[in-house]
Amino acid sequence: MRANALSTLTRTLSPDPFARSHAPMQIHPLHPAFAAEVAGLDLATPLDAPTLEVLHDAFLEHAVLLFRGQRLSPAAQSAFAAGLAAVEAPLLDRRSLLLPPPLRVVAGIPEGEAPPGAAWHADHTHDAEPSLACLAHAPAAEATEIAFADQRAALALLPASLRRRVEELRAEHAHHGRLAEHPVIRSHPVTGEGALFVNPAFTRRILNLPAGESARLLDALFAAATAPAVTWRHAWRPGDLILWDNRTVLHTGTAADALQRVRIEGDRPLGLRALEMPWVVAG
Contact status, residue 107 vs residue 76, Cβ threshold 8 Å: no
Q: Is residue 158 part of a domain?
A: no
Name the amino acid, one letter, at 24: P
Q: How far apart, in Å, are the Cα atoms of 204 and each of 191, 236, 271?
A: 28, 31, 18
Q: Is residue 201 part of a domain?
A: no
Q: For residue 120, count other CB atoms closer than 10 A to its CB.
A: 22
- Round to whole Å and give the CA distance between 280 and 41: 42
Domain CATH for 34: 3.60.130.10
pTM across the whole model = 0.86
Domain interval for residue 80: 3-115+130-148+228-270
Q: What is the mean pLDDT of residues 215-228?
A: 97
What mean pLDDT, rounded, does the chain reach? Answer: 84
Q: How far apart, in Å, are the Cα atoms of 22 and each of 43, 67, 87, 255?
A: 12, 16, 21, 34
Nearest 5°: phi and psi at 244?
-140, 155
Q: Is residue 221 part of a domain?
A: no
Q: Is residue 121 part of a domain?
A: no
Structure confidence by residue, pLDDT tens digits, 9-33: 334 443 333 334 445 899 999 999 9
Q: Is residue 258 part of a domain?
A: yes
Scanning the chain, the segments in alpha helix (DSSP H) are: 3-6, 49-62, 74-88, 151-157, 160-166, 211-225, 278-282
